Structure 1
Amino acid sequence: MSDLVATVQSIQCHDGVNIVTFALGEQTLTMVSLELDEVVSIGSDCLLSVNASSVAIGKNLRGMLSYSNQLSAKVVAIEKGKLLARILLDISENRVESMITVASTERLGLEVGDQVTALIKSTVLSVSKVLA
């Protein structure tokens, strides 16, 4: 599980569905939620959580994707196991872990220092804590 510190920029609500936009440094994150704590409000700093298996990595992407969260990231560490690789990313001074297959790591030619795109579905983000 990785945590990101982000600030609520906007909240849209309709029919029990909430779309929350966060500022993450110079980047933007979007979260879709069916439940939203009342203390989450515009300007709130929040700790967002995401599972490593929910963070995909793209390299040299071109074209359109449905992912709302396409974040510029830098690879800071790679730990390869027999089947899976743990990739540690720096995203706007937040450390985020991605768990992908070793085959994907090799196919992408991932190396420490690479600039990549972290892809996170808006439905897998959650607010674990409101900081202020």
Structure 2
Amino acid sequence: MNELRGTISEVRSQNHMSLVTIDVQGNAMRSIVLDSPATADYLQEGNKVSVLFKETEVILAIPGAHHISLQNQLLCTVTGIEKGKLLGKVFMNFEGNSITSIVTARAVDQLELASGNEIMALIKTNEVMLAP
């Protein structure tokens, strides 16, 4: 499980659903949660939270794909790769934090990943969990 720490900068709610924006070292991340400030005390601007997402939910892309719907786009540097026959585990640095992605071995080859490469880590808003 990947974990980043950040500060809630905006909460937009409708009924019992909220779109939460979290500032993670100057980068905006977003999460959709099935709570609102009325039902979850931690959903207040200025509160610190953990931003959690699974390694299998991190999509990798070469920087420069600007017109996509994914809101969470983190520019990272590849720090290591463990590649098996089927899957590859890609280790990245994002603003001093470690992020891991598990993708197919074929994807590692297609993206020509190597240590030191810049890569975009993309995470869908509904795959990001928050913890106080």
TM-score w.r.t. the length of structure 2 is 0.92
1:65-92: CA deviation from partner (whole Å, max 9, x where unpaired): 0101111111111111121011111112
Match of 1:123, SS? helix
Unaligned runs of 5+ in 2: none
Unaligned runs of 5+ in 1: none
One-letter code aligned to 1:42: E
Is 1:41 the equivalent of 2:58? no
State the identity %: 23
One-letter code aligned to 2:8: V
Is 1:102 the equivalent of 2:116? no
1:83-103: CA deviation from partner (whole Å, max 9, x where unpaired): 101111111222111000010
TM-score w.r.t. the length of structure 1 is 0.92
Moved more, 32-41 or 67-76: 32-41
Residues 1-132 of structure 1: pairs in structure 2 closer than 5 A: 1-36=1-36, 37-128=40-131, 130=132
How many residues in Structure 1 have an aligned counterpart in Structure 2? 129
Contact 2:63–2:75 (Cα < 8 Å) also in 1: no
Match of 1:106, SS? helix
CA distance in 1, matches of 2:130, 2:96: 18
Q: Which runs of 4+ in 1 moved over 2 A?
A: 60-63
One-letter code aligned to 2:81: I
